[in-house]
Amino acid sequence: MPPNTALSPDTPTPARNDSAVVQTPAFSPLYQQIKGLILQSLQAGEWKPGELIPSEIELAGRFKVSQGTVRKAIDELAAENLVTRRQGKGTFVATHNEEQVQYRFLQLHPDIGQQQDEGRAQRSIIECKRIRASADIARTLQLRTGDSVIHVRRILSFNNTPTILEDIWLPSPVFKGLNAEQMAHYPGPTYAMFEMEYGVRMVRAEEKIRAVLPDAQQAQWLNTTTATPVLSVERVTFTYNDKPMELRRGLYLTDSHHYRNALS
């Protein structure tokens, strides 16, 4: 992005002229246009996860707007967990390596004790291979039927007890080289690995949840019976600009855990 990008002549302030906001409606508030420009830089990788972004004053000069307008744009990005403010240090690109956000997409809690997290789970990879996307997987990931995707099937165990059985589908060209050893032994969250190794930041997710009965094979992997209800969680995870990057279907045992969601 050019360092002195200005704002669209259609905005209420005539002195501001920015041809870069080609996809932002002319009626969008000015801070929303600035937010869009910052998002473009995040998507382009100008600032990596965990890196310090320019100060509000620097961004105001870059976009030729007031510091207050930039602050309002950054406030929204922080509320969406895309950036993180640190008192006295500045604003940083959010990362799944940060303790307060790294497990925000895993809402499984033990009935007694602290929230479970993927980093402390024992990961058993059943398979990790490239396949052709079926019609429903392709549609969800905005691919073409038959495009190459990586399919990972794994079990997450807590305290040596199988708790989650997951199937994960990822677009192969983006995650080139991903293998079972990486998935099993990366020391932190999987989404942190996607950031560090493949430059993909997962920024939001949509989930569908229902109760189901496992089939015989699923019950065997989870060390349970086909008569034991499990929680089925289907998640689509998105990177910047609502680009789907992952389809995840999990079966959760809830005899000693519960799925917790905070609403506001």
Q: What is the set of domains in the chain, with CATH numbers?
A: 1-94 (1.10.10.10), 108-259 (3.40.1410.10)
Prediction pTM value: 0.71
> How high is the pLDDT of residue 60?
92
Half-sphere exposure of 172 (CA within 13 A, CB side): 14
> How high is the pLDDT of residue 155?
96
> How high is the pLDDT of residue 108?
67
> How high is the pLDDT of residue 4?
44
Half-sphere exposure of 135 (CA within 13 A, CB side): 0
> How high is the pLDDT of residue 233?
93
First-to-last alpha carbon distance for the chain, in angstroms, is 35
Give the whole-angstrom CA distance, residue 197 versus residue 34. 29
Strands in 28-160 per DSSP E: 83-86, 90-93, 108-110, 122-132, 148-158
What are the residue ranges in the chain where pLDDT is below 50?
Answer: 1-25, 100-103, 264
> How high is the pLDDT of residue 156?
92
pLDDT single digits (tens) 112-162: 665 555 556 789 999 999 999 999 999 999 999 999 999 999 999 988 899
> How high is the pLDDT of residue 96?
67
